[in-house]
A and B are shown apart, each in its own frame.
Chain A
């Protein structure tokens, strides 16, 4: 411990007049002891060497609190008289002694004494006079906030309280330093220190609130730094400050929102209930302000909200999505202003829309509808690429049906709005849509919506709005009630798309669907009919069937070299010409448009059954029925070229339907081509004879029985093996 006296700048010896007891500012803290209690004073002599009399110095470093307090009271009197005498240099040297000899002393009692002495000095200075000495007074005290001894820290807190009490607005110059100190005390392990810090905090808040010179800009860096801390006490301090600053009319905290918004959100997931509540109420205040604010800069806020909407905490997600809803609907800054951020926002919405919390889903659902409408109705130009990136990324049909549905709704809308611009994204969309089609676990709605999107892709102009097709129900009496769901679906997603087909994309879509069926037989079995029927409604049955037939039959080139469907002839592979034993260029694997022969006949049977049963295919059936006008006898004499329209449909289908004999036969009956059908029946018997040749009579009998009962098909061997 240094007992050396500091060098005194002014070595004058002054005798101070005795001062009477002065009522001190003990009102400051009622629950806490303060230095300033009523005390007596005496005549003090100051030596030449030191501004503080040795007696005071000794009792100021005493271990007894009362002695220290008394010494402090004497210092107060001393400073008062010096102030009256306007002896500023002397006061400075007193402060210097207190700061150097006491506050930085090794002895804890000296430090305590120094702190109480500094407070007494501040009180002695009274009001405005503190200003010039403030720096000297504050820094020793703030330094003691780091003291290893909790009592010292407590007294430091008390000391600062008293300084603030007299200095009032003047301390704001050092606000950041004080706030820094506050954060230390708030996170203190000692309860007394914490309580003291709370009182100090309240006082500083009061000062800031009444002050007109507080600069938030200066405070911001500190706020941004500390808001990242997870210490609950610091969080409490910060959320309190944000709320207080927000309540000051002169301070517009909303301008600084990006600096602390994320931090506030993080407090929502604090384990402490009080902090959660405080943060929540602060955030709901801010959201109201956002609603009323005329101009809000969304750029920096959006990433914060998006990030928070992915939080694992439900309150964070809910609050974030509520904020997003607010932003989307913002009367001034929403709308077109939001277009640059829409893909980010959309990502957040799509994530929340499948939330396990019903409330979050609801808000997300609403927000999604609002944003969709916003984009749909906007006249402004916007980038498709980021949107589609988000959408293709979010379609995960396995579990999140609402998300998938929302994505489809968006793609649908975008296709309707900007079909031409969407063309470049079709290759990206198609695989995703097919995945949606096959993965949709038990959501027919997803399938139907996906098909609508696919139909829009097939149309050159996106198809425009859905047109309700009232005719559908009229034919019901005429039709077999295929299944009840079918009718419900029509009500739900009824309507057809009008528009010119874009051949390239139409073929792309049909091809993709067929390939999906080829690779996923379970899908074909469960949903094949639904998919085909829906496509027939959305586009028209005739073109869908024609194209499917064309794609299917173009899988093979038949022996004999006569190309049956000249359009695709160049793509064909002459599978059958290859010598057997050599590695087979299997149709399905070599190129994308090739299907296995077994799949083709399965698909033909599926299509045929739909053609014969589904309400949706009524129009095509009528067309086929009139393919041959039976009453017109001159028909058969007409030159070949005049066969057109329905006749052409019949022939195209027939060529493909050949892959299933019974289907071919039924097609002929449907088209009233009875001559052909009779010729076919005769061929059926030939079929069986050839099958039977290689077997014994006994076998033949069994085979024929089985075949006749069940199926005429090319895979009779399978059946026989079953019989075995």
Chain B
């Protein structure tokens, strides 16, 4: 056991914790209901009327058992892309809608935030001029923009993209500005003494120097965007994982709700891991 690395030990512990949680879940949701004394077996009709029929393990609450959960997961994952009309689409399609919105909003935010951040990072005057606006706009919950977006854009799907845009833009903008403003003076002096043209300096000196900070901003933005899309889709409805979740709540299908929650977590983790990899690729040791 001594030879096991911390990582392996951690993984084993994770599995143990998972099993523990699952068994608690199992015990909490399945309970053999013994008929209370005094009520004869004749009253099984009464019992069944009361939702307590039979003596086989039954649900104590409306909460799904592990078996039901497994069935739901199996059912959803075996046909992820079916489409039976507006209220019944496969989980794959719903996820694709959400990811497309997040991707589009995020891309738009990148197109705006990185060049703009570059500019205010380079020019202290621009930074001073825009900073008050950024500081006021940054703490606004992205969903607060929803009514205005819906009113002006008049399209729920595009409004969702706008909300993603507005929440992704600030971390990227500020991190880009910070990264660009804090490029080591020495490196800029090297570029100066080599008479490097402004464009070459921007792409070959400032951008790589600031890239780790910019990527950090993008990673934060992506995290926020994925948080916000679920809420936004619950609000505007139609498609997407957030709408799916809300729709299943209206169906009182808690197992599907739990499934959606799990999936949101997993996709969010994958997105963050991807950006972590990107971040590693552009970072450098000093």
A and B: interacting chains: no
Interface residues of B (CB under 8 A from A): none
Q: Which residues of A contact B (CB under 8 A)?
A: none
